[in-house]
Amino acid sequence: MWIGESAGFDFRQLQPSQDPVEQFCDQVAAEFLVPEEAIDELWKEHTGFDQLARQFKVSQLVIARRALDLKKSPRRNFLTFMNNTNAS
C-alpha cells in the first residue's frame, strides 16, 4: 500500500522473490521488525533463535530468515531450522 503496488508471494516456498516490489517490501518489513543494528549487537550474545524471537517479539522463523539474509547464519542452519520446524 505504501508504494501503491502489490506483489504476491508464496510464503510456503520460503524462497526469495524475484519481484522487485516484493523484495523492497520484505526488506522494509525486516528492518522495521528486526533492525540490523540491533541484531548486530544482540547476535554476539544470543543463545538461539528463540531468545532473539522473544527479544524482538517476532517468530523464530523471522529471526532465522533475518540471520540468513544478514549472513549471520549459514543457509544450512536456516534449512535445518526449517526442517525441524516442519517435522514438529
Q: What is the pLDDT of residues 62-72, one digit of tens each?
A: 999 999 999 99
> The C-alpha cell of 16 is what?
526469495
Query: Model pTM?
Result: 0.76
Answer for the pair 9, 22: CB distance below 8 angstroms, yes or no: yes
Q: How far apart are CA 14 and CA 83, in angstroms?
A: 12
Q: Which residues contact 26 (CB under 8 A, 6 or more apart)?
A: 16, 17
∠69-75-79 over CA atoms, to 5°? 115
Q: What is the pLDDT of residues 36-76, one digit of tens each?
A: 999 999 998 877 889 999 999 999 999 999 999 999 989 99
